[in-house]
Amino acid sequence: MNQFDSFDDVIARCCRGEVRLSRLDLYALSGPSRAEAALFAQRWPGLPVQDRRGILRTLVESAEANFELDFNDLYRLILDDPDDEVRLLAVEGLWEDEDPALASRLARMLRDDASDEVRAAAALSLGRYALRAELGDLDPRLVKVVTQALLAAVNDPEELAQVRARAVESIAYLDLDQVRGIIDRAYNEDSRLMQASAIFAMGRSGDGYWADTVLRELESAEPEARFEAAHAAGELQLAAAVPALIGFLDENDRELQEMAVWALGQIGGEQAKDALEAILASDNDPLFEAADEALAELMLGASPLLLFDYAGEQDEGHEHEEADDDDDLTDDDLEDEVPDEEEDLDDELDDEDDLYDGDDDDPEDDDPEDGVEDDEEDDELS
């Protein structure tokens, strides 16, 4: 392999069974043109399933580690792959993709995919569109598609808890009358998975109604419940949770410690600030980086005087940096060369008219009582 290998060269080598991808190969595959994406769509089905899994796993892991790499156009082309693991990896690879056309595709996968894991991943991915809907940044027709898909999942008594749990987490973003009831039913199910997702959803909903429940779960004997309650406390900015969160810093659970640090940064206040600064007093504290980021977040909402003091502390002590990773990723229009998952959004949305029950009313017009019933790799490349 030489440094001038092109997209076509890399694909040709993959087709010959040479599936170990170098750093230069990854850059060659990143951000493909329409013609390159069409070539990929043509050649991909002919690869052995183990090679498809290995290649895709490498792409997903590499893109997570390096924001310069963009394989979204390739992921979308293989959402119909016959292999469950490949489809799952493709959905997971698209975790930051907010292309509107993808929302209706994920809604169909949530409804129809044969794999429980893929349906759960689709439900989770729809959360980012639910958030955009709540922020008023999503076409009303897509709001309807996303809402109906999530409601259908959480209200389906035959659906697995794994899928319903992710749907509960995603639908929590939406300002629907049904949401409190959905979270409450999930919380009261005899399933730790559903209970943990319900606690997570309490925070994501931004609804102060759940404050007492979250505070109570901070004292739970279940580590997962305490972890999700710490996250929810941060989301809800519960000042009453600060003492418990500070107590979590002395526990042996590293993930719980880091979540407590994050939550303290979200909640703010002098007590939280003092706790974070105590961590920063030692360069060797394993929570130093997390506390540094949390304190910076805390200071965003602090008074001008506190901001001034904090700036002085930075000059005397540790240097604080924040990276701006807000680069927008753009997706090529592949409609002329690739399968019809990339078709025009208007045609896509027209197809959704009878996706579920044929109801043409907007979600906001639905009766809150309607539809509410008892209701989350390792081949090495060779």
For residues 325 and 209, give the distance between their C-alpha atoms in angstroms, rounded to a whole number.
Answer: 34
d(CA 142, CA 129): 9
Instruction: Check: CB of residue 97 under 8 Å from CB of residue 332.
Output: no
Cβ-based burial of 231 (10 A; exposed 0-12, middle 13-18, buried ≥19): buried
The predicted pLDDT at position 371 comes to: 42
Locate tokens 């156009």: which residue? 73
Residue 380 is predicted with a pLDDT of 38
Q: What is d(CA 335, CA 265) in angstroms, rounded to the nearest whole number? A: 45
CA atoms within 13 A on the CB side of 53: 13
DSSP sequence for 172-230: TTS--THHHHHHHHHHTSS-HHHHHHHHHHHHHHT-GGGHHHHHHHTT-S-HHHHHHHH
pLDDT at residue number 359? 44
CA–CA dist 377, 63 (Å, integer): 16
Alpha helices in 45-177 (DSSP H): 49-65, 72-77, 84-93, 100-112, 116-134, 140-154, 161-171
Q: How many CB atoms lie within 10 A of CB 381?
A: 14
Q: What is the mean pLDDT of each run of 10 residues along the chain (382 residues)?
A: 78 92 94 97 96 96 95 97 98 94 96 98 97 96 97 96 98 97 97 97 98 98 97 98 97 96 97 96 89 94 52 44 42 42 52 45 42 42 34
